[in-house]
Amino acid sequence: MEQLKSMDQFTELKQDERVVFMFTAGWCPDCRVIEPSLPSIEADYPEFTFISVDRDEFIDLCGDLEVYGIPSFVVFHEGEEAGRFVSKDRKTKKQIESFLDSISVQ
């Protein structure tokens, strides 16, 4: 999964067709739990571009988007937020896939 490198990149990427920003951090145990599932999720949802956002590096962006728990997912479609799976709870592969399925039909 590609890493977000700058706010300019975020601004550009969110204009794309379907972008999933996954908010994470190196110290987050719940993020490590889903990490092994991410390659297969990316492969199963080729209509999305997946971007990893380091919560500590982009703390202001997290505040702007009201992302207070990680891992969390915010989807943009052509500059508009299309959906979010944001909470402080651990997420399973099945929950992430269900979330993406709900976005895919829009």
CATH number at residue 17: 3.40.30.10
Which of 28, 34, 53, 70 is an active site residue?
28
Q: What is the pTM of this model?
A: 0.92
Across the 106 residues of the chain, what is the mean pLDDT of every consecutive 10-residue run?
95 93 94 94 95 96 93 94 87 94 71
What backbone phi and psi angles, to 5 degrees, belong to 20?
-105, 115
pLDDT confidence of residue 105: 46
Which of 4, 31, 67, 70 is an active site residue?
31
Gap between the Cα atoms of 101 and 33, Å rounded: 21
pLDDT confidence of residue 88: 76
Gap between the Cα atoms of 29 and 26, Å rounded: 8
User: Is residue 28 among the annotated active site residues?
Assistant: yes
- How many of the other CB atoms lie within 10 Å of CB of 17? 10
User: Is residue 31 among the annotated active site residues?
Assistant: yes
pLDDT confidence of residue 89: 77
**How many domains is the chain partitioned into structurally?**
1
Identify the domain containing residue 76 by its residue range.
Answer: 2-104
